[in-house]
Structure 1
Amino acid sequence: MVESRLTGSVRVVGVGLLGTSIGLGLRERGVDVILADASPTHLRIAIDYGAGRQAAAGDEPQLIVVCVPPDVTARVVAAELEAYPHATVTDVASVKLAPLRELRASGADVSRYVGTHPMAGAERGGPLSGRADLFLGRPWVVAAHDGISYQRGSAIDDLILDLGATLVEMTPEEHDRSVALVSHVPQVVSSLMARRLIDAPHAAVNLAGQGIRDVTRIAASDPELWVQILGANAAAVAGILNLYRDDLTRLIETLEAPEAVGASRRLAEELAGGNAGVARIPGKHGLDRRYAQLVVMVDDTPGELARLLGEIGEADVNLEDLRLEHSPGAQIGFASIAVVPERLAHLIEWLSTRGWRIAG
């Protein structure tokens, strides 16, 4: 067991996906984790899952992590600050400016509070979705403010490092503008695209491939939670969507007159701009490195995917990414494999000689 940087117990309020994952990760380091939740059922599940213990009289946590929905974050943080006057308190809500403003307006002791936001999660929440490794290698923003000292904030830094995340410092304003671009607007775009499928002909939906699955994956997220998130960061999200609307208008005008002089060039420039934007997204371990792709046909029978992964390992090739797609009406799937470019030819030859069918 790796020793924790934290010296005292940690109280986690709210045992959904993030709260349970924090508890599981800290328990692996031997930290005394105290769990609390408004739902007795969720609390029992998280405790049975091994994420921590129930609160007891006399608990004096070093750190309190509030993991509740955005619309009640400030209220719960204020209550925890009052109930535990010696503890440092943080939260993991996906907006940072609104809770801080609400706490200041209420007169709460923000000298013991700083908001944070781990850039990790899943489409499904709840304690059963919790994972001890959820935060490994993921950015975790600390939205510091002038009212908290470095000494107070050090416990939060220790929490983030204990869970294997990468600490990123931002102001609350910088954070909210940033997540509007890379998280909140993508959720809106994904949901609107998925809505187009509601009345689509079955014949069209049956053609759905990896492209539409990629675009609409996060559209399966909890609508109630996203109403709160978008409402709390409405101005920043609306600003980006206005720019996006301008982009769409420009593209629509080009497509409505595809034979016009310069239309093909304008269309190519829009698409090339997308290439340039994707190239800026950090890859594995934070590297801006593009990977080579190959597609392998995999029979839809037990053990075939495991055999493929095993033989990739035997080829001494590191698998950078893997995506699966099934062919409608056929007992076959397509495994899209990402590897570093210099290993691509070797892997294709290796798999081909072992009978794998390379589709692309």
Structure 2
Amino acid sequence: MMLTNEQVLQALEKVNDPELHKSIVELNMVRNIKIEDNHIQLEVVLTIQGCPLKAKIQQDIEEALKSIGALSVALTFGSMTDEERQALTKSLKAEAVTETGMPKMLRSDSGVTFIAVTSGKGGVGKSTVTINLAAALARLGKRVGILDADIYGFSIPAMMQIEQKPTMIDQTAIPSTSHGVKVMSMGFYSNDNQPVMWRGPMLNKWIRNFLVNTHWGELDYLLLDLPPGTGDVAIDVAAMIPHAKEIIVTTPHNAASHVASRAGVMAKHTKHDILGVVENMAYYEEEDGKKKYLFGQGGGEALAKQLHTDVIAQVPFAQPEENIGSSVYDEDSIVGEVFTHLAEDIIYHN
């Protein structure tokens, strides 16, 4: 039986662009199909030149066409013209933004749960909590993104060992992915890690920019790693994402929890739901299972009491062998298990 163009296109509808997660047929990437005795030639026009995932696209196309009876597949690659790229960006944007320019994911019925991870001061492991909770949610099958809005200390790309900057298609960024989590960070755009000294309104613009001009695709959770403290940023984010839920990270040290309580009061002021307090560096587990409280005890509890919420996780210090290179812990490590339980609680109780 001779294959037809229609059959070829139908088979290729199941092949997705690995970055945009849309069919290469829908994205108009398939051109010049020629069929002779079930030997197929075609051209695939990539969104950008030197697309890093070319090999993956090629393999998926070959498999799809051989499954419908193609004897051989000869593939050539081209790249979109500037006009085609602009048109693509426009259609991606139309999907992501309402007519008034508001990101659709910010609508209360978008199905995206926003979780803002905050702390009263730096150095309490807020980013560690963000990335491990995100990875745990992803392992439980959820579609998760992180917006690293901590512009003074954007450490998430390094902590998740992301070396590749987001791909840009015209004005739209495709987030980098690590541990099944999509990540956008100011760290991708600053020169060699220089601190960004910005005031609130400008930062607000950047966060909105990251929401609007990033192709997040379908998400269940978007975690925002916010700068520590109770400054303009917290107020701006609250105004922009009124339905965000908040996790407040502290250490057991009373001084840290005292500062964190200001962040919590801020959450109350902005009417954000507080999911609870995560007490990081809570204890160290000795080999015999005894817990050693290196920073004292009770800080998390005191804070939770003050904010009329609960301590939803106590994260221990990691064992030395748990964490080689990346700051994302394996799910079967002690720290990993704590985050799995936290992720399950968030999915099933909220």
The TM-score normalised by the length of structure 2 is 0.26
Q: Which structure carries more relative contact order (alpha carbon 8 Å, separation 6+)?
A: 2
The TM-score normalised by the length of structure 1 is 0.25
Larger proportion of strand: 2
